[in-house]
Chain A
């Protein structure tokens, strides 16, 4: 489990980040006392540090330099300061990424994942399996038994989202949101079209009724 250290002075943001990261399967710890942050970091030995810039006492920039010396963790700056100068400074001080507040949760999680992956370790999930079908995310194919079908990018993301919530009802709005997270900016009509095509492809694999429509609620795998 990856250890993430949260250095953030706003208590509610800190608490929520702790909850969020815990739910995402990380092992987070928040710094509440900003006196001896580098020592605390050495004790916790995190894989990743989320570092705010505007902190009481010592600011994030000088803290970053100190942390770089004491621990071998990736550092993501998370700050409400958004001038380009700050970003350049943060990255030149050894920050691995720079996220400005207010961020959206999917973006934050995606950037954390990306930095962890760069730092080594975190392997990208290649296949998903649910309801008797196997989805290959890197090749963009879906297979059932010995039959395989090639999916478009949109279809792949729709199916991945449904398979990630296998058994649950996923609303159309949730699906659209998930697609937007993957930089596919579709509307309601396009979703319908893609859904029809996806069902056609699943039918070719001998799984015509895999995706059920729950009227007024959404889809269910």
Chain B
């Protein structure tokens, strides 16, 4: 709040004062008081009034700064009304009371929403665990079928699994609770697990997977990392050209391990690159091929952010796409 704003705000009051002073001066002049006396009185009144306004302004400004500082320190801004110091004036007290009521309603609504979200997430997780039992049984049963039937069956089951998995991780990514466990894992294990999960799709697409330098160890949650890798492999298989090859390569760059999943597929148009991690963005590739939900890379980004992994994508239309996951250096992990 500046002085000017303060004065503009109190325009009515100031005008009333000035009119009073001028009227009194005119009255005194009319009743024959000396001009000098009127002038002195005029100046004294004006000065007293000015000082009063100034004190009022400074006081309000200090109070506002104090309240703003409290607000700035708050994590949950809606808890502001619970944290303000005692009211100084009657007017302030009544205002704070109103704020309290609004705040309480908000806190109730927020905790209800959080509880609902938690319950929903628990339900989804429970459901995912339940559905995995019949999927496992189906996989075991179709082992008895002839090889060709079994392969096609496994492809479909693999597809179901991929959808189920995505649901699970969507519930996890959207929920603020962080329930991952950071451990030391070898990249080759992560890669083998991710490839195995999507082997039906990869094999059916005729993809050759090459691995390079994956004997490095990183610190991460293996389940989450496998899911991210799985999404990238699925994309590579989906947006393939002839003779598809996917390369998983690890490099050490300034103590960080960079894991790159590179394909020789159809690539992404340059003008769409900035939006590929957006939720629900399918792009021209997704639209032309159908069946794209625009969730894969979005989930990758969400999960990578939670895990503290870097994630970036480069692509050239018609040439292929490379997505790099950056695992933090060990030193950095122990610091934080």
Bitwise, B183-211 to A at CB < 8 A (1) or not (0) is 10000000010011001001100111111
Q: Give A17 to B137 CA distance when docked, in angstroms.
A: 9
Known contacts A174-B147, A176-B203, A13 near B195 by CB under 8 Å:
no
Residues of B within 8 A of A17 (CB): 140
Bitwise, B86-129 to A at CB < 8 A (1) or not (0) is 00000000000000000000000000000000000000000011
Known contacts A81-B129, A84-B180, A102 near B139 by CB under 8 Å:
yes
Q: Give A85 to B181 CA distance when docked, in angstroms.
A: 6
Q: Give A101 to B210 CA distance when docked, in angstroms.
A: 26
Q: Give A43 to B157 CA distance when docked, in angstroms.
A: 37
Q: Is the CB of A88 within 8 A of B181?
A: yes
Known contacts A84-B221, A102-B132, A183-B192, A12 near B183 by CB under 8 Å:
no
Say yes or no: is B241 at the interface (Cβ < 8 Å to chain A): no
Pick the residue among A81, A102, A187 that contacts B206 (CB under 8 A).
A187
B157 to chain A, nearest CB (A): 7
Smallest CB gap from B130: residue in A:
A80
Residues of A within 8 A of B293 (CB): none
Q: Is the CB of B199 within 8 A of A104?
A: yes
Q: Give A104 to B192 CA distance when docked, in angstroms.
A: 13
Say yes or no: is A22 at the interface (Cβ < 8 Å to chain B): no
B149 to chain A, nearest CB (A): 12
Q: Is the CB of B196 within 8 A of A104?
A: yes
Q: Which of B134, B135, B192, B208 has the most CB of A within 10 A?
A: B208
Say yes or no: is A20 at the interface (Cβ < 8 Å to chain B): yes
Q: Is the CB of B136 within 8 A of A13?
A: yes
Q: Give A183 to B143 CA distance when docked, in angstroms.
A: 21
Residues of A within 8 A of B134 (CB): 10, 12
Pick the residue among B136, B151, B183, B210 that contacts A80 (CB under 8 A).
B136
Q: Which of A77-110 contact B (CB under 8 A)?
A: 80-85, 87-88, 100-105, 107
Residues of B within 8 A of A26 (CB): none
Say yes or no: is B161 at the interface (Cβ < 8 Å to chain A): yes
Say yes or no: is B222 at the interface (Cβ < 8 Å to chain A): yes
Say yes or no: is A146 at the interface (Cβ < 8 Å to chain B): no
Smallest CB gap from B209: residue in A:
A185
Say yes or no: is A190 at the interface (Cβ < 8 Å to chain B): yes
Q: Give A138 to B181 CA distance when docked, in angstroms.
A: 36
Smallest CB gap from A105: residue in B:
B143
Query: How many positions in chain A have a CB within 8 Å of any CB in the partner chain?
Result: 36
Q: Is the CB of A171 within 8 A of B223?
A: no
A64 to chain B, nearest CB (A): 18
B215 to chain A, nearest CB (A): 13
A122 to chain B, nearest CB (A): 22
Pick the residue among A13, A105, A107, A189 that contacts B137 (CB under 8 A).
A13
A60 to chain B, nearest CB (A): 13
Pick the residue among B133, B140, B195 that contacts A185 (CB under 8 A).
B195
Bitwise, B167-187 to A at CB < 8 A (1) or not (0) is 010000000000111010000
Q: Is the CB of A173 within 8 A of B147?
A: yes
Q: Which of A87, A88, A187 has the most CB of B within 10 A?
A: A187
Pick the residue among A13, A84, A171 that contacts B140 (CB under 8 A).
A13
Residues of B within 8 A of A173 (CB): 147-148, 151, 203
Q: Give A82 to B126 CA distance when docked, in angstroms.
A: 11
Say yes or no: is A188 at the interface (Cβ < 8 Å to chain B): yes
Pick the residue among A20, A84, A100 that contacts B181 (CB under 8 A).
A84
Q: Is the CB of A180 within 8 A of B223?
A: no
A207 to chain B, nearest CB (A): 27
Say yes or no: is A210 at the interface (Cβ < 8 Å to chain B): no
Smallest CB gap from A54: residue in B:
B129
B29 to chain A, nearest CB (A): 89
A105 to chain B, nearest CB (A): 6
Say yes or no: is B270 at the interface (Cβ < 8 Å to chain A): no
Q: Give A104 to B148 CA distance when docked, in angstroms.
A: 16
Say yes or no: is A16 at the interface (Cβ < 8 Å to chain B): yes
Pick the residue among A12, A100, A190 that contacts B208 (CB under 8 A).
A190
Known contacts A82-B223, A102-B161, A10 near B181 by CB under 8 Å:
no
Q: Give A173 to B209 CA distance when docked, in angstroms.
A: 16
Residues of B within 8 A of A189 (CB): 208, 243
Query: Which 4 pairs show the lowest CB-CB distances between chains A and B?
Result: A84-B181, A185-B209, A16-B140, A80-B132
Query: Can you name 22 A-B residue pairings with CB atoms under 8 Å?
Result: A10-B136, A10-B137, A13-B137, A16-B143, A20-B140, A80-B129, A80-B136, A82-B223, A83-B180, A84-B180, A84-B183, A84-B223, A85-B181, A102-B132, A102-B161, A103-B136, A104-B199, A105-B143, A177-B151, A177-B203, A183-B192, A185-B209
A-B contact sample (10 more), CB < 8 A, given A13-B136, A177-B151, A180-B203: A16-B141, A54-B129, A82-B168, A87-B181, A88-B183, A102-B139, A104-B154, A105-B140, A177-B203, A185-B207
Name B residues whose Cβ lies closer than 8 Å to a Cβ of A: 128-130, 132-137, 139-141, 143-144, 147-148, 151, 154, 157, 161, 168, 179-181, 183, 192, 195-196, 199, 202-203, 206-211, 221-223, 243-245
